[in-house]
C-alpha cells in the first residue's frame, strides 16, 4: 500500500452575454463561440499608453473597486449613489466575475431565482430568468442587462489584473497598478475579487508527461467536444458533479477519480415563465428583505425540535416533504440540532443515503458514493445540487475510482497510472480540482500594508480580519465576499449586498465626520477570530476538512473561515461597530 497519495489534498468543490443565445428545452445555450481575448470595443479597455503623449493613463478617483462580478457591480452602483467618483479594474474581459470565467459543461448557480439576483428594482423589473437555477450563459446575459440599465461600463477597465497596491500614509491614498500598465490613485480601496476565483491545480506527479488534452474546469474551452472520447475527471465536488452530468452523456467512457463523495441534493430544476415572474415582482421587495433578515439569504427556518425529539414516522415524513421541494430545503428546513448532535446528523445522512441508493443501483458504486457508514458528517462540507447525477453514474460507460483504495502513482503519456499498476488511458483529462478559496484572490495582487508588508506574508500563519470587511495595517481598505464572514454558507448576492451596503454606510459616515482614515485594531481582529472559532467549535464543522477551511491547499493553514451565526446577525454586528467606531483606529482629516 502507498504511504502517500499525490491527490490527498485534492477536493474539487465549487460549485452565458454571448454574441448570440437561444433557448433549447428551457435551457439557455450559446449559439456563437465566446472569445475571451481582450476586446477594446467591448467596454472601456482604453489604451494604456496615451497615443499623443505616450504617457501611462492614470486615474484619480474616490473609490477604486477591484473586480466586476456581483460584488464589484454592487459596489460601483452604491458608491455612485453616494456621489463618489468610482473606478473599477477587472482582470477579465467583461462583467461576471466567476461567471465570466466558468464556462464548463453544465455550469450553473445552485442558488435559486428569484433570490440569486441584485435587489435593484430598475434592474429586475425588466429581466426574467428561464429556469429556477440559471446556467452560466443566462447569468452573463443578466450581467449584460445590469450593465445596460446602470451604465456601469464607463467606469470599468477590463483586462486589468492588479499586481500592486500600496498605501501612502502621509497622503492617505492608495495606488494600484495592473499588469497591463494601468494606474489609479484613490482614498478608498474596495476589494471585490471573489471567493472562488484563483484556480488550484495540484502538483501531480508526471502531469507534464501526459500528451492528451488537459483542461482545468476554471478555464474550460467552450469548443471542446468530448463526444465519443475517453475522458478522465478528477474531482467530485460541485463543479465535478455538473460536469459529470454532461460529459457522461456524450463521452464514450467517463472515469471519475474521487477521494470522498459529495452528498448531493436534488436540484428540482424547472422552467420559469415570464408571466409568473412578472406576477411575483410585486412581492420581490418583501422576499429580498426576508432573505436579508435570514441565516443564509433564503427566508427558510429550521424545525425548532431536534431530530430525535420526534417519532421516526414524523421525522421521515418531514424529510420527504423537504426533499421534494428541491434546492437546499432538505438542509434549510432541517431539525435544529443537525449540525450539533452526531446522532441527529446520522439520521439525516441515513435518509439521504437511502434516497441515493434508490437511484444509484450498482452495488460497487453505491459503496463509494453512498456508503453505509458516512465518511464525514452531513452538512460539514458543501452539498452540491444535482439533476440526474446518480442516473449518469449508474450508466455502464461511467466508472468510479476511489483514490483512497487505489491512489494515483503518476501520469503517463496516455493517462493515469495507479499504485496497483492499473493504467487508465484517456483522450481528455479534466481537473475539477477547485480553488484557493477565500484568500487566493487577495494574496496574489501585490497588496501591501502601510508598512510595505505583503498580505500573503501577513496571512501565512492564518487569516486575520475585523468583521471580514477590514484588515489591520490597511487603512481605508474594505472587502466583500470574504473570509471570516458568512460567505460560504450564504446566497451570494444576499451576503454581498449586506457587506457592500455596510461598507458604503461606513464611508458615508467617514465623509460626514471628515475622517481621513479608519483601520482595524489588532485586538479587534483577534477577538473577531476567537468569536468565529468559538461558534464553529460548538458544531460538527471542525470535524471535516474541505475548501471551507483551506485544507485543500498544501501549506495553507487549515482553519475555519466562516461566520456561522447567519447573515442577519452578522450584519447587525458589523453595523453596531459604527457607533463610536468600535474596533477601529480613526485618523481625523
- Are residues 390 and 360 in contact, defined by beta-carbon separation less than 8 angstroms? yes
pLDDT of residue 547: 67
What three-state secondary structure class fits 500? Answer: helix
Give dist(CA 529, CA 520) in Å, integer.
13
Backbone angles phi, psi at 246, to 5 degrees: -90, -50
- Record the cell numbers describing residue 585, joined without a space: 483606529
**Cell 479594474 sits at which residue?**
89
Q: Residue 199: which of 244, 170, 239 has the closest Cα? A: 239
- Are residues 29 and 52 in contact, defined by beta-carbon separation less than 8 angstroms? no
Beta bridge partners of 584: 520
- Are residues 495 and 567 in contact, defined by beta-carbon separation less than 8 angstroms? yes
Give dist(CA 1, CA 215) in Å, integer.
30
- Record the cell numbers describing residue 190, joined without a space: 474596495
566 burial type by CB count under 10 A (0-12 exposed, 13-18 middle, 19+ buried):
middle
pLDDT of residue 556: 74
Q: Residue 550: which of 478, 461, 479 has the closest Cα? A: 461
- Are residues 215 and 221 in contact, defined by beta-carbon separation less than 8 angstroms? yes
pLDDT in tens, 152-175: 999 999 999 999 999 999 999 999
**CA angle, 202 then 244 then 216, to 5°:** 30
- Record the cell numbers describing residue 76, joined without a space: 460601483
- Are residues 297 and 111 in contact, defined by beta-carbon separation less than 8 angstroms? yes
Among positive and negative, which fits the CA dihedral 275, 280, 285, 290?
A: negative
- Record the cell numbers describing residue 144, joined without a space: 449584460
pLDDT of residue 521: 98
- Are residues 232 and 257 in contact, defined by beta-carbon separation less than 8 angstroms? yes
- Domain locations in the chain? 58-95+152-198+437-588, 207-270+297-431
Q: What is the rounded end-to-end Cα distance, in angstroms, of the chain?
A: 66
Identical fold for domains 58-95+152-198+437-588 and 207-270+297-431, yes or no, is: yes
Backbone angles phi, psi at 60, to 5 degrees: -120, 130
Residues 6+ away with beta carbon under 8 Å from 232:
255, 257, 415, 416, 424, 426, 428, 429, 430
- Are residues 226 and 372 in contact, defined by beta-carbon separation less than 8 angstroms? no
What three-state secondary structure class fits 191? Answer: strand
- Are residues 262 and 390 in contact, defined by beta-carbon separation less than 8 angstroms? no
pLDDT of residue 155: 98
What three-state secondary structure class fits 318? Answer: helix
- Are residues 519 and 470 in contact, defined by beta-carbon separation less than 8 angstroms? yes
Give dist(CA 476, CA 125) in Å, integer.
35
Residue spans of the chain under pLDDT 50: 1-6, 8-54
Q: For domain 58-95+152-198+437-588, which CATH number applies: 3.40.50.300, 3.50.50.60, 3.30.460.20, 3.30.1360.30?
A: 3.50.50.60
Residues 6+ away with beta carbon under 8 Å from 147:
95, 153
Instruction: Write down the pTM of the prediction.
Output: 0.90
**CATH T-level assignment (fold) for domain 207-270+297-431:** FAD/NAD(P)-binding domain (3.50.50)
pLDDT in tens, 55-84: 567 999 999 999 999 999 999 999 999 999
Amino acid at each position: 500500500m502507498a504511504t502517500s497519495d499525490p491527490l490527498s489534498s485534492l477536493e474539487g468543490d465549487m460549485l452565458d452575454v454571448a454574441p448570440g443565445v437561444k433557448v433549447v428545452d428551457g435551457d439557455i445555450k450559446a449559439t456563437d463561440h465566446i472569445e475571451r481575448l481582450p476586446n477594446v470595443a467591448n467596454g472601456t479597455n482604453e489604451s494604456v499608453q496615451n497615443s499623443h503623449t505616450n504617457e501611462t493613463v492614470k486615474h484619480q478617483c474616490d473609490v477604486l473597486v477591484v473586480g466586476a462580478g456581483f460584488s464589484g457591480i454592487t459596489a460601483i452602483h452604491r458608491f455612485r449613489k453616494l456621489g463618489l467618483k468610482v473606478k473599477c479594474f477587472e482582470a477579465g474581459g467583461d462583467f461576471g466575475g466567476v461567471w465570466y470565467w466558468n464556462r464548463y459543461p453544465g455550469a450553473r448557480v445552485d442558488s435559486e431565482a428569484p433570490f440569486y439576483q441584485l435587489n435593484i428594482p430598475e434592474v429586475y423589473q425588466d429581466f426574467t430568468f428561464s429556469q429556477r437555477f440559471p446556467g452560466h450563459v443566462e447569468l452573463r446575459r443578466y450581467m449584460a442587462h445590469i450593465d445596460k440599465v446602470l451604465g456601469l461600463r464607463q467606469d470599468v477597465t477590463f483586462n486589468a489584473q492588479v499586481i500592486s497596491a500600496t498605501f501612502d500614509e502621509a497622503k492617505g491614498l492608495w495606488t494600484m497598478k495592473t499588469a497591463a500598465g494601468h494606474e489609479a490613485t484613490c482614498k478608498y480601496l474596495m476589494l471585490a475579487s471573489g471567493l472562488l476565483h484563483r484556480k488550484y491545480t495540484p502538483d501531480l506527479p508526471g502531469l507534464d508527461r501526459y500528451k492528451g488534452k488537459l483542461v482545468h474546469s476554471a478555464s474550460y474551452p467552450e469548443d471542446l467536444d468530448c463526444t465519443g472520447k475517453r475522458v478522465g475527471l478528477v474531482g467530485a465536488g460541485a463543479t465535478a458533479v455538473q460536469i459529470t452530468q454532461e460529459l457522461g452523456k456524450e463521452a464514450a467512457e467517463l472515469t471519475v477519480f474521487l477521494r470522498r463523495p459529495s452528498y448531493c441534493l436534488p436540484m428540482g430544476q424547472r422552467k420559469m415563465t415570464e408571466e409568473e415572474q412578472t406576477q411575483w415582482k410585486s412581492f420581490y421587495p418583501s422576499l429580498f428583505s426576508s432573505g436579508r433578515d435570514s441565516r443564509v439569504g433564503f427566508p427558510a427556518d429550521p424545525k425548532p425540535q431536534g431530530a430525535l425529539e420526534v417519532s421516526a414516522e414524523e421525522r421521515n415524513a418531514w424529510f420527504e416533504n423537504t426533499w421534494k421541494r428541491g434546492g437546499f430545503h432538505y438542509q434549510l428546513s432541517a431539525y435544529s440540532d443537525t449540525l450539533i448532535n452526531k446522532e441527529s446528523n446520522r439520521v439525516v445522512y441515513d435518509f439521504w443515503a437511502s434516497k441515493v441508493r434508490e437511484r444509484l443501483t450498482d452495488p460497487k458504486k453505491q459503496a463509494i458514493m453512498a456508503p453505509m457508514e458516512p465518511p464525514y458528517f452531513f452538512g460539514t462540507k458543501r452539498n452540491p445540487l444535482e439533476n440526474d447525477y446518480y442516473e449518469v453514474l449508474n450508466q455502464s460507460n461511467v466508472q468510479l475510482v476511489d483514490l483512497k483504495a487505489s491512489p494515483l502513482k503518476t501520469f503517463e503519456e496516455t493517462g493515469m497510472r495507479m499504485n496497483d499498476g492499473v493504467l487508465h488511458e484517456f483522450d481528455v483529462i479534466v481537473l475539477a480540482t477547485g480553488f484557493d478559496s477565500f484568500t487566493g484572490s487577495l494574496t496574489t495582487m501585490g497588496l501591501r500594508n502601510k508598512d510595505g508588508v505583503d498580505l500573503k506574508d501577513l496571512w501565512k500563519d492564518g487569516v486575520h480580519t475585523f468583521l471580514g470587511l477590514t484588515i489591520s495595517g490597511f487603512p481605508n481598505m474594505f472587502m466583500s465576499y470574504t473570509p471570516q464572514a458568512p460567505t460560504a454558507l450564504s446566497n451570494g448576492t444576499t451576503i454581498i449586498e449586506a457587506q457592500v451596503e455596510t461598507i458604503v454606510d461606513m464611508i458615508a459616515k467617514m465623509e460626514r465626520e471628515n475622517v481621513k482614515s479608519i483601520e482595524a485594531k489588532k485586538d479587534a481582529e483577534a477577538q473577531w477570530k476567537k468569536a468565529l472559532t468559538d461558534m464553529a467549535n460548538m458544531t460538527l464543522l471542525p470535524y471535516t476538512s474541505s475548501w471551507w477551511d483551506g485544507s485543500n491547499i498544501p501549506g495553507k493553514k487549515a482553519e475555519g473561515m466562516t461566520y456561522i451565526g447567519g447573515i442577519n446577525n452578522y450584519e447587525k454586528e458589523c453595523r453596531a461597530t459604527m457607533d463610536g467606531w468600535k474596533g477601529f483606529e480613526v485618523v481625523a482629516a
